[in-house]
Amino acid sequence: MGRALAGLVAAALVHSAIAGAAGGKAAGDAETYVHPLKKFTLRVPVGARVIERGTKFDVVIQSPSGYVINVQSGAVNADVSLMGMTARLEATYLGDGKRWSRRLEEGSTTVGGLSARAVLYEGPGMRTRVVVARGRETDFVFMFIAPPGAFDGLVAVFDRVLASFRPAAAEVAVRPGPPPPAAPARPPVAPLAAARHFADPEFGFSIDYPRQWIVARPSAHTVTFSGRQGTEAFYAVVSIQNVEPPSARDSRQAAAAVVSDLKSQWAAGATDVGYFNEGPITYENNGLRLHGHQFLVAYTQGGQRFKQWTVVVSRPAGTVVHVWSYTAPDGLFRVFQPVAEAMRKTWAIHVR
């Protein structure tokens, strides 16, 4: 579907071609559109113009308010994931001198009961929200394009169109067939089943980690845990770093200095940085109860969107601070978050 996707983007972004298209019809009151081939339906915004293009009847919804919505459908390509579909678009249209300058945010969603992925891009004079969805028989691509200054005020229209979308019954219905063979019941596998144990007196802590993950020590005061290369878990990294700010006089100052320095690093080396769920946290393990600080940060680096969960805990005495973090690309963050949470619960700070 790579070529079809590329064709969609080209059609969507060339406004002059859309404006000059013939055969459209304007909606007075909001009306329901039914695709002549795929039989999906959606509500057309009031006053918008519907244009059907090409032999596949790709749909363009054009509004005098200044936005354009494109809907394209094609035979499902099970060999390419939803993330792979957006990656194919980015290979052509994201980068210096291209239509999209940067990716702002991305995540999983659902559209009409179908699994979907939404990505927001920004380029010269436009913002584009791309939503790719997969049915049993059809891949769908929705695109919403509007000027940056008007985008936030208009995107709610696109949300309503997506909410109204209903694919044909065959896209979501389970096809009849012989029942699968019964499998013996078994309890769910815990994130740290058959875990390994890391402990080193020089680091001052211990932690359990998945048996199939790899331990590395990129510096004298840092240890990292991640999956093996060639697996998705390779991109999920749990790290613990020991930091001792030279200017801190006590543990409280040390923790504050570490948090400030971390934020300065993101400000200098990343873009589109946002902090969420920030606040105090209580560490309790190994007979210790310590006050800490945690936050979730989302940022773009090297053209890719990441999320990082960070927990900063000072040792009970002195100015050494432990920085525990879990980092992964935005699309994989939730996948491996249960593993990271399970690891954090086993993280034990040791006092000599």
Three-state helix/strand/coil letters over 88-128:
HHHHHHECCCCCECEEEEEEEEEECCEEEEEEEEEECCEEE
- Between residues 344 and 112, which one has the greater pLDDT? 344
CA distance 292 to 314: 7
Res 228: pLDDT: 86
Kindly state the percentage of the chain with pLDDT values over 90.
27
CA distance 243 to 241: 6
CA distance 264 to 278: 16
CA distance 160 to 45: 9
| Crossing angle between the packed helical segments 2-13 and 82-93, to the nearest 10 degrees | 50
Question: Would you put residue 57 in left (φ > 0), alpha (ψ -120 to 50) or beta?
Answer: left
Collapse the DSSP code of 31 into the 3-class scheme (helix H, G, I; strand E, B; otherwise coil) and give the result: strand
Res 14: pLDDT: 29
What does the pLDDT average to over 285-296? 89
pLDDT of 209 higher than 90? yes
pLDDT of 84 higher than 50? yes
Kindly state the percentage of the chain with pLDDT values over 70.
86
pLDDT of 210 higher than 60? yes
**pLDDT, the chain, mean:** 81
Q: 289, exposed or middle or buried, with CB in 10 Å at 0-12, 13-18, 19+?
A: exposed
pLDDT of 60 higher than 80? yes
CA distance 121 to 133: 17
pLDDT of 313 higher than 80? yes
Question: Would you put residue 331 in left (φ > 0), alpha (ψ -120 to 50) or beta?
Answer: alpha
How many Cβ atoms sit within 10 Å of the Cβ of residue 311?
18
Cβ atoms of 127 and 120 closer than 8 Å: yes
What does the pLDDT average to over 75-95? 85
Structural domains in the chain plus CATH codes: 2-172 (3.40.1000.10), 196-349 (3.40.1000.10)
What does the pLDDT average to over 206-212? 93
